[in-house]
Structure 1
Amino acid sequence: MSLDVVSYGGGVQSTALMVLAARGELPYKTFLFANVGEDSEDPETLEYVRQVAVPYAKAHGLDLHLLDRTLRSGETETLWGRMTRKGSRALPIPIRMSNGAPGTRGCTRDFKIQVTGRWLREHGASAVSPATVAVGISLDEISRASNRRTEAYERVVYPLLDLGMRRTDCQRVIADAGLPMPPKSACWFCPLKPLGSWREMRRDRPALFFRACALEEALNETRAWDGKGADPVFLTRTGRPLIRAVEAAQEALPFDVGCDSGWCMT
């Protein structure tokens, strides 16, 4: 028996996949949400998943699994916890360099790919018998499909592309189901967040925004202690501290785009 799942991100596209599956228009019953941490996922996404997606899935005979990264000790590790652990020098997020370029990203690999992959392998997926993993990438962001990493134990498919659906079509599907619209899903401190989203966070969720500013400062303090103070890092591509970048911004930068791996923001 084949293992068919949806990689659920808590955003518009993957929620549309859930509605289509509930309507019997897609052959999926299992949805996997890799939670990077109660302190790391955007609180609005976690609220949507728990208050909207979980009850909806249950009411329509779908299985939505919320997966955590679990260490050998049995302890749950979060992305925030890894970065802020005392003495930690880890920079697993794609932090921005002074020139605006993102650094190496380990967050997707460790907290999304490995977590989901562990569940798939535990449930029988292998290179000989790969699981079919449906990803919510819509037609208007088709370039993201070619950037999604594929593992030997999975066969990735894109139902929204097959159906010729755009983001607006996904929003219509969700609205027709009587569900509230999901927020954009990503870690609340993600350096790939558009500048306009940072401005919205400062306006609507100032406590979370200033917590992100404090994180940026703490990461640079660690680098200074590590002898790398001459090469600061930032949460935006502007080459300046987050608070100054937002204060200086008049509008979202048109070239500031989000994660294209297909794991987040779906």
Structure 2
Amino acid sequence: MTHPVARFLSLGAGIQSSALLLLAVQGRIPTFDAAIFSDTGWEPATVYTHLRRLERLASAAGIPVVRVCSGNIRDDALDPQHRFASMPLFTLGPNGEEGMARRQCTSEYKIRPIKAEVRRRLGHPHPMRVPTGVYAQMAIGISVDEVHRARDADVAYMRNTFPLLDLQWRREDCSAFLTEHGLADTPRSACLGCPFHTDLEWARLRAEDPTGWADAVAFDAAIRHGSARATVDGHPLRGQFFLHRQRVPLDQVMLRPRAVDQQDTPGCGPWSCPHPAEQAPDGPSDTATDQDPDYGR
């Protein structure tokens, strides 16, 4: 029977993964060789502030928090020289058809950088093949209320584990644990302009972070007619993109925040972002799906 070479935490810096890191710091679950945070470059300021706090806590327990990145998702989307990794944007077709674009952003900006770092730490960076039997455990912060998102890794050199499921913890248990230890303000982790934001989150962004809100409004307007690269190449979007499901400019959306949204909506971690099957059918798109080069390895 083979044993893991290393044990890592997939750190999204949201409620569940923060709870896992704190549990390891306190010795209540086995420690991690590293906690890996995949930075899209477009997280809210509150997430980066919280991440620095987690880095200090983890460092005291000998757990390095490693930041990995494959680019700035916002800047890349607006760069005509950069391939557009499709976001789950809401679409409005030429004849009023409603849909949702493909979601490639999680794979490209969160999962791939983590896989690359795991390979590097195992001593077998791409394109080297990882020898059979060499693998790392990857602890993922999925709680009992999100058990349907717990899936096996799609590569042989990573084996997913779900310590919160073993503890039978729900998201509210994680929140209570963090509150007990002075981390009640742990934010939900998601890109500043994530289309999965609830109206409560959009309203909070508008009220508490005017700069972030203006950034999201500007991005929403900039992606209205598709990716910059496709437009330059003569393949503009057949329809329109929007950040909000109402499919109107973000600064014109009639927000209807509900307090329950704060409890119901998971963060967009690498393995807890809403699954494609939970999305609306694809709408018009000017992008093609890219197969993960590590899939099945």
TM-score interval, smaller chain: 0.7 to 0.9
Q: 1:8-39 CA deviation, whole Å, 9 max, x = no partner?
A: 000111111011101112112221111111xx
Q: 1:15-64 CA deviation, whole Å, 9 max, x = no partner?
A: 11011101112112221111111xx12221011101x1010001122121
| Superposition TM-score, scaled by structure 2 size | 0.76
In the alignment, what sits opposite 1:187?
191
Q: Call closer, same or farther: CA 1:227–1:33 in 2, change over 3 Å.
A: closer
1:213 pairs with 201, 212, 217, which one?
217
Separation (CA, whole Å) in 1 of partners of 2:44 and 2:140: 20
In the alignment, what sits opposite 1:74?
none
Contact 2:224 2:240 in 1 (8 A): yes
- Matched to 2:67, the amino acid is L
After superposition, where does 1:32-181 map in structure 2 within 5 Å?
32-37=36-41, 40-50=42-52, 52-69=53-70, 77-88=71-82, 90-98=84-92, 101-124=99-122, 126=130, 128-146=133-151, 150-181=154-185
Q: Call closer, same or farther: CA 1:261–1:67 in 2, change over 3 Å.
A: closer
- Matched to 2:20, the amino acid is L
Contact 2:14 2:187 in 1 (8 A): yes
Structure 2 alignment gaps of length 5 or more: 125-129, 275-297
| Superposition TM-score, scaled by structure 1 size | 0.84
Q: 1:57-95 CA deviation, whole Å, 9 max, x = no partner?
A: 0112212111122xxxxxxx2111211214556253211
Range 105-114 or range 90-99, more displaced: 90-99
User: In percent, how many aligned pairs have the same letter?
Assistant: 28
Following TM superposition, by how much is the alpha carbon of 1:220 offset from its aligned partner in structure 2, in angstroms? 1.8
Provide the aligned C-alpha RMSD in A: 2.7
In the alignment, what sits opposite 1:20?
23
Q: Call closer, same or farther: CA 1:209–1:87 in 2, change over 3 Å.
A: same
Q: 1:177-207 CA deviation, whole Å, 9 max, x = no partner?
A: 3334310001101111122211221122222
Structure 1 alignment gaps of length 5 or more: 70-76
In the alignment, what sits opposite 1:236?
244
